[in-house]
Structure 1
Amino acid sequence: MKLHISNETSRLKTVILGVANSIGDQPKLEDAYDPKSIKHIKEGTYPEEEDMIKEIESVADILKKHDVEVLRPDILNDYNQIFSRDIGFVIEDKFIFANILPDREKEIKAIEHILDKIDSDKKIRLPEHCHIEGGDVMPHGDSILVGTYRGEDYSDYITARTNVEAVEELQKLFPDKKVKSFNLRKSNTDPKANALHLDCCFQPVGNNYAIIHKNGFLEEEEYQWLIDLYGKENVFEINAQEMYDMNSNIFSISETVVISDEYFTRLNEWLRSKEILVETVNYREIAKQEGLLRCSTLPLIRE
């Protein structure tokens, strides 16, 4: 398999889509990875497996409708494998393994049957001290956009998933690209003040548009850099509630087709006004785990 990913929106050919089967019991509070999951565990509204299977399979149906090759992980018993984006990412023709939370290493093994089709010299593991997850990484032509957290209290945040060392390692791996990092707002307790990954507060869409939540960025100038990159007239600004609902975590099949949550009425109207076809699904249950459509997908080949 010859990988190719140079941006977020070119025509998608092959993708790994997560699975919701056999996710196991509801996690204990102390085992939850993010504040939104914690909230729903406390409130007794944590999602049911049956509902999440229905939601993710609706995404599979749309991808296949648009002639995308959909690959799936092997199903592990009693294990959450919905968010395939966390476990790796592709830049150009290289698959880079995410250095993820240790508890989730099994998820990599569940896609080995897919990774075996990739040449060994195109599969890269970063040094152990480099923490990184796919939700923080966005190829953007000659640039790579990366969410991180630069605070000295990095180790205090389970929501801080990509460190500065990983950003520096990406620059070494891709010396011909500009690696631009963004210092993201983190909270272990408040889901409305936590940008778990870059795709929780920013995402390119179409040919030259972007979805952005200003308060997800700790540095005003880094937020402004994105505004200048796209032009203010091409940016859809989302508020704190919309970030919490994960409006920036839709998924592009091409520059003219996206999958979005039917709940995102304001965003979807804006996308349609830009002549983008919006394929909608109901993803309200999966969203309770602080992940949505981009989180569920790991693109391998785009045109």
Structure 2
Amino acid sequence: MRWEDYRRSDNVEDRRGETEYASAGQSFGGGGGGGLGIGAIVVLGLIGWAFGIDPRLLIGGAELFNGARHSQTQSAPPQPQSKQAGTPTDQMGQFVAAVLAENEDVWTDILPSQAGVNYVKPKLVLYSGSTRSGCGGASASMGPFYCPNDQKVYLDTSFFRDMKEKLGGGGDFAYAYVISHEIGHHIQNLLGILPKVQAAQQRASKADANALSVRVELMADCLAGVWAANAQKKYQILQPGDVDKAINTAQAIGDDRLQKQAQGYVVPDSFTHGSAAQREQWLNTGLKSGEVNACNTFKR
């Protein structure tokens, strides 16, 4: 992927290296106090390796997905206020800022023309280990996510190392796809989709709430493809093999493959991000169409 000559976004909040509080893992790990149980480890394995917001972050509370409506999220102590705003100077920070800039320029152009909505640029927070978000505590084990409450994307870039070592994936375009998937959730928020899904999930059974989450995640996959298609058209960012790497990674983090890997069997009703085949399908839909209206997973 070509990115070195592209401009860098200054909408990056660099918290790496700060001394943070211990992450409020119970908000995300699922049930129980103290150390992580087997169930929590499975959840972290499934969600932490996936490209998308934790579905429980989307609806603002783990209890809605775990069926533990009586549980309370622990408050975390405030984090230090010092942080570096603007473009980071290290190579990974430069890469993230360049991908964010490409998303800004593409979506500023196509979102008004294709969807009649102005693009509002989100912040992207880089952090190490743990930090605080508008959706509660954030931990590296959760993977990248978008918080609709503060309209920020949170990324511990150690996730990219995990992609390469645990999934056999990696490569600049695969990493850009991860970031752009999270921006896809921001697009959903701007379109008013996330609040509607949240309201529907609050009335739904656990299985139906999970099914809605799958549609949200697959749409974000598709929107990442829409970004890539339009970035390629405008800036010729892709190099041979880039798309194949992204598709291979999308397949690798399908719920069915992750569940099979983690527990030896598959439970479709518990899917929250979509199967390998679905993730490949919707990424390809966005790549081939380049159109937001091709990504309506709620009509299919």
- TM-score by length of structure 2 reads 0.26
Which protein, 1 or 2, shows the higher relative CO under an 8 Å CA cutoff with sep ≥ 6? 1
Greater strand proportion = 1
